[in-house]
Structures are given as structure tokens and as C-alpha cells.
Structure 1
């Protein structure tokens, strides 16, 4: 929709008191600009989810002049750089999609506090899961609003390929059992056993799940807190090296989206990704059926965990549209917005007791799992578990030591130093 088709921008913030307006208005010298929303959902499931989110916002707030600005690039790399440049250059957007948790530390005072004007005014503390409430806090206040939650410890597979290989997915409960399954796929079918992209963040997230599956929640938590067991770290790299012996030949040159297409087309057996991979299956025009064409188990050994990842929108402190931004963030935290977005993205609402009527069976099961697992370890590869400096150091250790050839000792030393 073009600006000419929109009604004039509103002058009164609906649902926010005068005191809240004064607090937000103090952050900017104007406030007459268009509500600019940066995000990285430029294709596939992400685009469909973003379109649903923005169209629902437009339906509810037709008086807000807004500009959703998609920034493409794998793993949000280009989006993150754009946001960094804009914040450092004194030209912040109204809000941007990003990860909460430790990821917020990089912004310092460049992101502001919207506890009173958004969280308290909309009652979000009482309607969102505890983990999301905690992860959106920063500098003694709240700088983000959660949009949805991804589970990182899913292992997706093509049903027909596994049947052809004689593999029972429910028997895969350890790295060794996973290796046996990959070996069966390699010997009995023409499919790639383990679809993989050697993008650094993909290696990091798979290392983290292997660590969890082989050594448990306590060992993983100790590692991210800087008290890791070197022998557990080394063993995890040794297992991962074996697993990566079954990946596609072009793994160094493809993105995970291309690998995921191989799962949908029957050219690969397994792929490990967050449940945004399921969003691609849901959005695919081949009408793939959960349980018949594709399915998922938890990454081996993590059956009682939900590795937590959260999408959110973040509030820049020197905000060009403080009142409209507050309206947007209140909307992001609503059940209406979260149902509209997550049903297509392959993620689940962080709003408690959200209606599941519009969610497919896979996502409905994911919601049930979220409420029943014993632990929800934060994702290591997406900004929740460690700050950006530590994550950069971990990725550098992988780039130097574990992207073929695989130097287990070098990678282990690099990881121990990083945390």
C-alpha cells in the first residue's frame, strides 16, 4: 500500500496515558515522521508471516502511517549491520526486528525503556511467558517486545527417504544413533543423509544441540556461563565432526534455505534448524503434509528440552516516532499480532493461552511441548545465551578451526577461550 492510500497519521496515541506520552516524546525532537519498521523477512515463510503481521496492524491502526522496510541477508547479518549503522549515525528507525536477551547488550543506551508506555500500559507482563518477559529487559527496564518463540532443537526429516532407508526416527536418541541412521540413508538411498549449510551460525547452533544432547542441560549452562568442561566441549566437536561426514557436497556454498528445499524435494533425509524450517514447509505451494511428507523429532538427546529462541521488536531510544512506535509495540505483544505472524513463521506465540485454532498440528504440538518440558536452555547462536562479542569469538573459532578441515583441538581451545 502506498502512502497516498493511507489516512493521515494520527495525533493522539490510543491507549497510552499523557505521562507515558511525555516520557516518550522527550526522546525526540519531532515525531512527525513515518513509522519505519526494519526487519529481515524478505522471502518464503518469513515474507508470508511479515505480510500477515503488517496487514493485521493496518486493519487495527489504519490511522498510522507506517513503512515496513525489509532488509535481506542470511542470519539477519545485513539487517544487523544496517541497524548498527543507523544507530551509530544518529538516524534510528522507529523499531527493528531483533533478538532480545544478551543480544541487547551491544546497543547500550541506544535502545530505550518502554516499560511504562508499552509493557505496563498493555499489561504484557501478565500475558507473556516468564522467559520472554525476562529476556526483553535491559538496563533496568524493557527495550523489546517479544513477537514469537522458535524451538532450536528440532531435527526435520523427509518421511519417504527414511522409510526407504529403513530408519525408525523414534530410535534416534543419541549422536551415535543419529550416525547409524545417516549411515543407513547413505547406503540404502541416493539422498544426502544430512542436509547442511556450513554457514558459521549453522555450525554453532548444531554444536550447541549436540552439546545439550550428549552432555545435558547443566553442562551446556556451565559452558555458556564460562565454566565449561573442556572434555565435554572436545567430545561434542568429535561427534559433530562425524555427523558432518554425511553432509551435501555443496554445503560450503549454500544457505540453509536451499538445503531445506532438498528435504521438501526428497533429495535429503535430515536437516537441523529452528522451527522456522517448518514455516517453509507450511508455506510451500506443494501442500506438504505434516506426518506424511515431512516430520520432526527432537535433536537426539534433547527430548525433554525446548531450546529457546525469540523474535522481538526493539525500541531505539532516540525515537523518531515515539507515540506511533508505542502503538506498534503494544500491537506486537498482543495475541492478535502473534497469532497472525507465528502461524506462518513456524514459531509459536509468547502470549500465554493464545488460541491454537489457526495453528497446524506441528505448531500446536510445539506449544504443548513448550508448556511441559523440563528445561528451556537459551540458544547459543542467536543472541540469547551470550553477548555479541562472545558469539563473535565462538564463530571466529569455528571459522579458523572447524569448517573443513576439522581441527577438534583448535576448535575446543577456541571455544574455551571465548567463554
Structure 2
């Protein structure tokens, strides 16, 4: 089992114990004790884009491995907050699960010292280092171990739009090449139509944080964002992006924005209430659902977030394995499976993400995802996402979210928010 000194010296308890201990009980709803050696997998896909995708993945695994007794537990949503709480609690109580869905990269620091190394039994045994995108291999490596296998990638810098809204406003989406162009378009939509110009959720601070990142990159360039996450951000550029975010939030979002998340915001686009929305391409997983009559190229379309053409803001989902594993052999079979071409195609086609394997034929994916997959392989720059765990360590990410939550969710204080953001990444 997990040793207490590992938890003290390795697992980043400070990241959570001060901020989300109160949510631990809720986050653990539905989780079971690992008293036997059956496979137990936790994930955060409880609805929206992810529920159908994970169910399809599980069914494919169970069909191929009918001899393995598996339990697959959904835990909450909203950016993995409840899932992370559940995982921490289980590891702290020396009751590890077999595997859990999470983000790799710097996010793995929160589990430092309690992760299993899959390099020999999975990565080398299956030849995954040769089959996966090199960037994904790097992000799944932490402290000379490979405790994670990637399942799919989302590009963050998308602007999805309702074609009817843009047509009514007389806006050619392809002509939007800068943040200034987008702001002019939002004003036109506001003045000339009844659509909400910009669908946006503010229930969680990470939603404002990820939008701020796109604004910063659009207005000041991707290098300005890279400098920021490396602890050398330009304060003036940070403030300029915050002020643009404030202008959007004060003038162009819905009245209920403070109480909704990205799923509810995206539904406003589907319902014909909103003109556009920024977000990761998991939203495509919602748009293509049989629950909606919302067709790509007819009812909705997309462009790279204005000013970020040629850039793939990199987000990665993976399954991570704790050490002292209760079902090592079954867990290895699960991790091998999620690295297969079959699993990656089945899962990502429904999730709205794209495989990390480089040997996938684009025609195995839907039209939108085939384009995204080609961008995954051929973009000019791949900055890691800040709001989803790849760019900075967990404590820094939490502090960045705190900077938005404390200073930039009405009332707005750009100076205080900028100082808090810069301080967060300089530690």
C-alpha cells in the first residue's frame, strides 16, 4: 500500500488539502473500496461529451477482455476537481484504485512518489513510443517513469460559431484574424441581432483563465503566453488581455453566465441563443450527439481563435496508474488497451478529441476530427494548456485559477489579477 512517507514527501497534498478538503465526501460518491484484485478505474466523464465515449471504450475493453472483472466509476465533472479529490483521498487512505483518468505533464506532480512505471510492461511491450506523437510521450514521462498512457488530445484554441447568427450579422468568420476583429464582430452581433454574442460560463474560475490565455496569445503572440508560463510574463500584456476579457464579460455574455459551466454555455449555441463560444474541441462531442439536430457545416462551424492560426493549444487526456497497484496484471492489460488504435478511434470519435497515435487513417475519424488530427500532426506551435494541467505545476495552476476567482469574476481588478497571475507562475 501507499506509504505515509511517500504522501508526506512526494504527493502534493498542499495542492488540495487547503482548498478542496470540504468536497472530499462528495467527490468520493460512487467509489468503492478495492478489497479484491479486480480492475477498478475512476474517471470524470459523467455527461456531455464524455459519457458516451467512456461507455464505448469500456464496452470495447470488456468485449476483448471478458476474463477481467472490471469496475468503472464516474466521479463528478467540472475540470476534474471532484475526481482529483477522490483520487487524493483514496491514495491518502492507502486504498489505491487500479487506474484513473487524468492529465499528464506537470499535473503528475500532485501524485509524485506514488506512481507506477509502465515503461517496460506497456510502452515498450506495445511499441507505443514509436506509435505515439513524440510530444505525448514526453508528457507521459515524469521523474524518469512513464505512469500514464494517453487516450486523446483536445485543441484548446477553437472558436465555434452558429452559422445562422453570423449570417444574420453579415460576418465572414474566415475574415476574423485578430482579437480586434473578434471584438468588432461581437459588437455587431450585439447591435444587429438578438443573439448572445459570446457564450461563456463563469461558474468555475478555470473557464475565465482559459479564455484569458487565448486572448493573451491573440493580442500579444504565443511567445507572450510561453514567457508567462515560464515565469517571465509581461505585466502590460497580461493586463491588456485581462481588460479585453473584462470587456467581453461585461458586454457580450448571458445574464446567467455566473451560474453556468461550459456545457450549459455550449448548449446556448445549439439552442440558437448564442453566436459563438471559445473552448476545446470536446464541444464537438456535444454538437454531434444524437440528442441534437446540430450539423457541422450547416448549423455550426469553427475557426482557430482569431490571432492563433497555425497553433495547436495542446491538451491531453490520459489514464494514470498508482503504485502498489491492487490489480497489476489487469491494470497493465487496461493500459495496453487504451493505447491501441481501436481504443483511440472509438473513444475520440465520440469524445470530440483526436488520437495520439500517428498511424491513424484520417478517414477513420469524422470530418471535423480528421481536420483536427491533421493539425495535431502538422501545426507550427504546440503550447501546453494552462487551465488543464500541462503548462505549470498543480499549485501554480490552482493559484492562477485563484487569481481569476478572487479578482476577476465581478468585481474586476485587472491590476490585482495581473499581480496574482504573475506571482503564481514565478514561485
Fold match by TM threshold 0.5: yes
Indicate the residue corresponding to 1:230 in structure 2.
Answer: 235
The 2-side partners of 1:340 and 1:401 are apart by: 41
Unpaired runs of at least 5, structure 2: 1-33
Alpha-carbon deviation of 1:372? 2.0
Q: How does 1:30-41 map to 2 (within 5 A)?
A: 32-41=36-45
Indicate the residue corresponding to 1:217 in structure 2.
Answer: 222
Alpha-carbon deviation of 1:355? 2.6
The 1-side partners of 2:402 and 2:291 are apart by: 38
Task: Pick the aligned partner of 1:362 from 356, 368, 374.
Answer: 368
Alpha-carbon deviation of 1:418? 0.8
Indicate the residue corresponding to 1:104 in structure 2.
Answer: 108
The 2-side partners of 1:336 and 1:387 are apart by: 32
The 2-side partners of 1:171 and 1:243 are apart by: 20
The size of the alignment, in residue pairs, is 390
Alpha-carbon deviation of 1:284? 4.0
| 8 Å CA contact retained: 2:266, 2:283 | yes
Indicate the residue corresponding to 1:335 in structure 2.
Answer: 341
Indicate the residue corresponding to 2:55 in structure 1.
Answer: 51
Alpha-carbon deviation of 1:31? 9.5
| 8 Å CA contact retained: 2:45, 2:77 | no
Unpaired runs of at least 5, structure 1: 1-29
Task: Pick the aligned partner of 1:418 from 415, 419, 424.
Answer: 424
Residues 70-111 of structure 1 show CA distances to partners (whole Å, capped at 9, x for unaligned) of: 112311111110011111111111000000000001111111
Q: Does the alignment pair 1:295 with 2:297? A: no
Alpha-carbon deviation of 1:112? 1.6
Indicate the residue corresponding to 2:353 in structure 1.
Answer: 347
| 8 Å CA contact retained: 1:156, 1:294 | yes
Task: Pick the aligned partner of 1:148 from 147, 152, 157.
Answer: 152
Q: Does the alignment pair 1:185 with 2:172? A: no
The 1-side partners of 2:292 and 2:233 are apart by: 45
Provide the secondary structure at the position in 2 that maps to 1:194.
Answer: strand
Q: How does 1:303-314 map to 2 (within 5 A)?
A: 303-314=309-320
Indicate the residue corresponding to 2:141 in structure 1.
Answer: 137
| 8 Å CA contact retained: 2:44, 2:101 | yes
- Runs of 4+ residues over 4 Å off in structure 1: none
Q: Does the alignment pair 1:162 with 2:166? A: yes
The 2-side partners of 1:284 and 1:274 are apart by: 20
The 2-side partners of 1:126 and 1:181 are apart by: 44
Provide the secondary structure at the position in 1 that maps to 2:319.
Answer: strand
Q: How does 1:104-123 map to 2 (within 5 A)?
A: 104-123=108-127
| 8 Å CA contact retained: 1:31, 1:321 | no
Bigger shift: residues 222-231 or 284-293: 284-293
Provide the secondary structure at the position in 1 that maps to 2:259.
Answer: coil
Alpha-carbon deviation of 1:287? 3.4
RMSD over aligned CA atoms reads 1.3
Residues 302-337 of structure 1 show CA distances to partners (whole Å, capped at 9, x for unaligned) of: 111000000000010111000100000011111111
Provide the secondary structure at the position in 2 that maps to 1:320.
Answer: coil
| 8 Å CA contact retained: 1:31, 1:322 | no
Alpha-carbon deviation of 1:358? 3.5
Alpha-carbon deviation of 1:404? 1.0
Alpha-carbon deviation of 1:32? 4.9
| 8 Å CA contact retained: 1:212, 1:220 | yes
| 8 Å CA contact retained: 1:37, 1:93 | yes
Alpha-carbon deviation of 1:217? 2.1
Task: Pick the aligned partner of 2:322 from 307, 316, 321.
Answer: 316
The 1-side partners of 2:143 and 2:321 are apart by: 13
Alpha-carbon deviation of 1:256? 1.1
